[in-house]
Amino acid sequence: MRILVFFISFFVFEICYSQKISTTNSLQLIYPKTTIEAKKEINNYLLLNPQKKEYFKSILDSNYIFLNKKQYLPIKNYVENYNSNDNIKEFLDFKNKWFIRYYNIENIFNL
């Protein structure tokens, strides 16, 4: 009986937790460094293309912040479709300080 109660409570918790995560549609605009997801994709790419390891090492040592496609495209859409009714100064600060440093790793893979 205890096992049944445990499993039911576990599944209820999982359902509630996953719904809480999936309903969050906030856009993260600031990434202080290359994301873990982007690094994983780069490492997977390098496993298949070891001859490009030095090239990627020089790129990763640059001042860019690498994001995967899922992280980069919403930010790009935000910048391209910016609503001018919002605070322009904050937007320009973001665009000059952060967005110019972001780079989609999909573009690197296509080089």
pTM of the model: 0.67
- Reported as a pLDDT band with limits 50, 70 and 90, residue 70 is very high
Is 49 among the domain residues?
yes
Query: What does the DSSP assignment read for 39-108?
Result: HHHHHHHHHH-GGGHHHHHHHHTSS-EEE-HHHHHHHHHHHHT--TTS-HHHHHHHHHHTGGGEEEHHHH
User: pLDDT digits over 17-31, tens only?
Assistant: 444 444 446 888 899
Is 14 among the domain residues?
no
What is the residue range of 64's domain? Answer: 27-109
Is 10 among the domain residues?
no
Q: What CA–CA distance (Å, rounded) separates 46 from 56?
A: 8
Compute the C-alpha angle 64/67/14, nearest 5°.
145
Q: Is the pLDDT of residue 1 over 60?
A: yes
What per-residue confidence (pLDDT) applies to 76?
92
Q: How many domains does the chain have?
A: 1
Is 21 among the domain residues?
no
